[in-house]
A and B are shown apart, each in its own frame.
Chain A
Amino acid sequence: MNQETNNAILEISALKMYFPVTRGLLRRKIADIKAVDGVSFKMEQGETLGLVGESGCGKTTVGRCVLGLYRPTAGKVIFQGTDIAGLPEKKLRGIRRDIALIFQDPYSSLDPRQSAGNIVGEPLKIHNMINSRKEYLERVEHLFSIVGLDPGMVNRFPHEFSGGQRQRIGIARALASNPKLIVCDEPISALDVSIQAQIINLLEELQEGLQGLSYLFIAHDRSVVRHISDRVAVMYLGRIMEICKSRELYENPLHPYTRALLSAVPIADPFVEETRERIILKGEVPSPINPPEGCPFHPRCFMAIPECSQGIPPLRVIHEGHEVACIRV
């Protein structure tokens, strides 16, 4: 694919990631966990795509396939024109420089025995991005200051920082290799409310400052995803149920699962809460080892008809830029 004619930084098509379930001494495969089962989407350069869904829906697995941490069972992950899905480890390393990750838990994702400066500077060394010790220190201090940390703190250890500051260290580390795409896996859900807003603003400012930086923003918090994303994809049992512009998704959700998911999350406004639609789903998410026939959501769906159990509904365009996988819409 040609980059000049195509502005997509990332294009995922028919991505499948199955994890084998084995049993016995011979580790015989008895089933597959279909964590991601046919996901396709495209991200423009400079775009923020929100990926929402409940735990086990495969959103983190998609993120990991993008990072090249998993070798997908099938499908393509085209990053800047190269399919990285089947690339050997050596070639992947060069590409990993352009794709970074911000973790969910700022407490367990930093090595407690390394100084904050070492943690932030490690990608610089791995990717041979510096020539001298002096340049290294300058880069690390610069990274500290862009994420709003005092460069005087490079020699401190993770336990000396608060949760919000640790997340800033994680962000500085992600920025070290000048990535084009950052996968943010629930980057704020472990933080306090007053600190969350600081981190969201920082991510937004970084995107404004570094032209063309894209975020794949994996989260479950409805209002935060709406706030930060340009477009949002809703996942359920390894599939995308609905994808569209974030404003549109929250104003006019079409898929019954999206409607239920959005209504499930309470909004911090008692006046809105009094009047809004509230759909409480029954039951739990089925096991991805043995997903239901047909539409994976139909056993819990309040709009289901017999046809829903026959054949998996593909994503179809309802109107410009709004795709839904449901036959009832």
Chain B
Amino acid sequence: MAELLKVNDLVTQFKTESGVVKAVDGVSYYLNEQEIIGLVGESGCGKSVSQLSVMQLIRPPGKIIGGEVLFHGQDLLKYPANGPEMRAVRGAKIAMIFQEPMTSLNPVLTIRQQLTEMLVLHMKMNEEDARARAIELMGLVGIPAAERRIEGYPHHFSGGMRQRVMIAMALSCNPHILIADEPTTALDATTQAQLLELMKDLVQRLKTSLVIVTHNLGVVARYAQRIYIMYAGRIVESGTTKDIFQRPRHPYTIGLLKCIPRLDEEEGTKLVPIVGLPPNLINMPATCAFLPRCSWKIDKCFKEPWPELTPVNGNHFIRCYADTSEYKK
């Protein structure tokens, strides 16, 4: 499988009155063709900002400070955010689905207007062809009676149907990469399952790669092939889905997995929460950001800066000094 996207040392910061927020602080990852990866972390860990940076959708006071976003070997960050090169990529080659299907559609435009806009812009279609293609896309994502409903407004659609429209829109220009930022968080369980299955089928059929950004470990366990765990703006662990769940090595990942009730747990088992709160991303110390909450810390953690991602086993990397190899779930 060829490498489609490679992000190197991405840094995105927000200038605020109380200081600089290092939202994304040296994130590197890669995505192969036809691969599904998961980017997992709690709110504020920088998972969404890293993806918005790839698309250059960061607005002031936010700024991409450094790094590379190599898409088909070309660094997208070299292009200005509003330049023609970036416009040809954004939405067309790399498409994004946002969390809120309620707010990411324009309420005063019909579904047809919103679905055909991209086709006319990127695919240079005329209105008639674009409409036909839009109806085809709506059928593809499972919207019944597309011919009639295409003239409807977003408020005519339920949450699940709106998210289907978003998926249709994202797939309309045959993107190489689909980034789904918490795509189903606002939806019901059975609708969630429908949409995730739909997305999985579509990316397989259309040979698209998929990045799932989520806090839901269940979703990535089911769909992702590889996982990146983020904490305080950095990736703290990466590896194949099975490695991460079977042999988690970073104390944060271990903690996260212990926080979720297991289905095979004994009656009366207590959950083991991670103590404390996620750190404030302003004025972060040079030492590991997870240190105050960590139960594996050793002396070295207090003295040395946060370590680099180091391989523990083949394609499994962690950013940690402590020896967690003994950990058994």
Query: Taking beta carbons and an 8 Å cutoff, which residues of A are in contact with B?
Result: 54-55, 162, 164, 192-198, 200-201, 204, 220, 222-224, 226-227, 247, 250, 260-261, 263-273, 278, 280-281, 284-285
Contact = CB atoms under 8 A, between A and B. Distances in A.
B221 A267 contact: yes
18 contacts: A162-B277, A193-B42, A193-B217, A193-B260, A196-B259, A204-B270, A223-B260, A223-B262, A250-B263, A263-B193, A264-B189, A265-B189, A267-B222, A268-B217, A268-B218, A268-B260, A270-B222, A271-B246
B188 interface: yes
Given A54-B188, A197-B272, A265-B189, A192 B43 contact: yes
A269 B273 contact: no
Q: Is the interface of B mostly helix, strand, loop or mixed?
A: helix
A201 B242 CA distance: 28
Contacts of A201: 270-271, 273
Nearest to A263: B193
Contacts of A284: 158, 160-161, 191
A218 to B, nearest CB: 14
B17 interface: no
B256 A193 contact: yes
B20 interface: no
Contacts, number: 116
A280 B193 contact: yes
B42 A192 contact: yes
A220 B197 contact: no
B215 interface: yes
Nearest to A200: B271
Contacts of B246: 270-271
Contact of B221 (A55, A226, A264, A266): A266
Q: Which 8 A-B pairs have the closest CB atoms?
A: A227-B261, A266-B218, A264-B193, A197-B273, A268-B217, A197-B259, A266-B222, A54-B188
B299 interface: no
A198 B273 contact: yes
A201 B270 CA distance: 7
B190 interface: yes
A38 to B, nearest CB: 22
Given A194-B259, A196-B259, A261-B189, 10 more contacts: A54-B191, A194-B278, A201-B273, A266-B219, A269-B221, A270-B246, A278-B193, A280-B190, A280-B194, A281-B194
B255 to A, nearest CB: 7
Contact of B273 (A194, A220, A278): A194
A196 B255 CA distance: 12
Most buried by A among B192, B223, B261, B262: B261
Contacts of A285: 188
Contact of B271 (A227, A268, A272): A227
Nearest to B272: A197
B257 interface: yes
Contacts of A265: 189, 192-193, 218
B245 A268 contact: yes
A288 to B, nearest CB: 13
Contacts of B272: 197
Nearest to B219: A266
B16 to A, nearest CB: 16
Interface string B238-273: 000110011000000001111111110101011111
Given A194-B259, A280-B193, A267 B218 contact: yes
Interface in B179-197: 188-194, 196-197
